[in-house]
Copies of this chain bind each other. A is one copy, B any other.
Amino acid sequence: MARMIRPLANLYEQLRRLPGVGSKTAMRLAYHIIDMPEGEVRQLASALMGAKDSIHYCTRCFNLTDGDLCSVCADSARDRHTICVVEQPQDIAAMERSHGYNGLYHVLHGVLSPLDGIGPDKLRIRELFLRLQQEDISEIIIATNSDVEGEATATYLAQLLKPVGITVSRIAHGLPMGGDLEYADEVTLSKALENRRAM
C-alpha cells in the first residue's frame, strides 16, 4: 500500500486544487468525507453543482445572481443614479454589509494587470460605458482595492470617464475607524493626512 487507493487519491487531488488547501488539509478533508454519512456527501456534491449550474452574472451589473437581474438591480428602492464600480462580486457583499450605500453596482471582474496579460478589454469596462448611455447615471464611485493594480485601474477609469461629464469619485482611504495613530503604517497615515477634510 505504498500508494493510496484510487478513489481516495482522486478526491485528494481534487481537494488539493482548492485555494488555501495544502496536502495535509486535503488529506484530512478526504478522510473526513469518506467518514461522512452518504446523504451529507451527496448534499455537498449537489451544492457544488447547484451553485455552478444556477449562478451566473447579472446581465446589467455582472454581480452574481440565479435570476436575470441581481437582487440589487431588481430592487426598485435603490438609487438608480449612482454606480459603485468594484473588482469582484464579493466586494458587493462587503459593501452591502456596511449598509452605507444605496445605489447600483458594476463588477469589473478583475483589475488591470499588464504582467498577467489583463488589459481593459478583459474587464467589463465596455459594458459600464454602455450602461452610461442607457441609464440615467450622475455619479460613478470607484471602489477598487487600494493596492497597485486597484489604484491603476481606478486612475485609468477616471481618465476614461472624464470626457463623459459624470461626477467620478473614489472611496476614501485613511485610518480605519477605531485605529490607533501609533500603529498605522506610513502609507495609510500619509494618505490620511493628504485626504484631510475641513470640519
Q: Which residues of A are at the interface with B, using a C-beta cutoff of 8 A?
A: 1-2, 4-8, 10-11, 13-15, 17-20, 25, 27-34, 36, 38, 40-55, 63-66, 70-72, 75, 88-90, 92-93, 96
Alpha-carbon separation in the docked complex, A190 to B40 (Å): 45
Number of this chain's copies in the complex: 2
The answer to whether B19 and A64 touch across the interface, beta carbons within 8 angstroms, is no
Alpha-carbon separation in the docked complex, A53 to B43 (Å): 14
The distance from the CB of A30 to the nearest CB of chain B, in whole angstroms, is 7
Among A7, A33, A49, A70, chain B packs the most CB atoms within 10 A around the CB of A7
The answer to whether B72 and A1 touch across the interface, beta carbons within 8 angstroms, is yes
The secondary structure that dominates the A interface is helix
The distance from the CB of A2 to the nearest CB of chain B, in whole angstroms, is 7
The answer to whether B55 and A34 touch across the interface, beta carbons within 8 angstroms, is yes
The answer to whether A17 and B34 touch across the interface, beta carbons within 8 angstroms, is no
The distance from the CB of A11 to the nearest CB of chain B, in whole angstroms, is 4
Among A36, A50, A66, chain B packs the most CB atoms within 10 A around the CB of A50
For A88, list chain B residues within 8 Å (CB): 31
For A18, list chain B residues within 8 Å (CB): 29, 32-33
For A71, list chain B residues within 8 Å (CB): 1, 5
Alpha-carbon separation in the docked complex, A7 to B17 (Å): 22
Closest to A95 in B: B1
The answer to whether A47 and B5 touch across the interface, beta carbons within 8 angstroms, is no
The answer to whether A8 and B64 touch across the interface, beta carbons within 8 angstroms, is yes
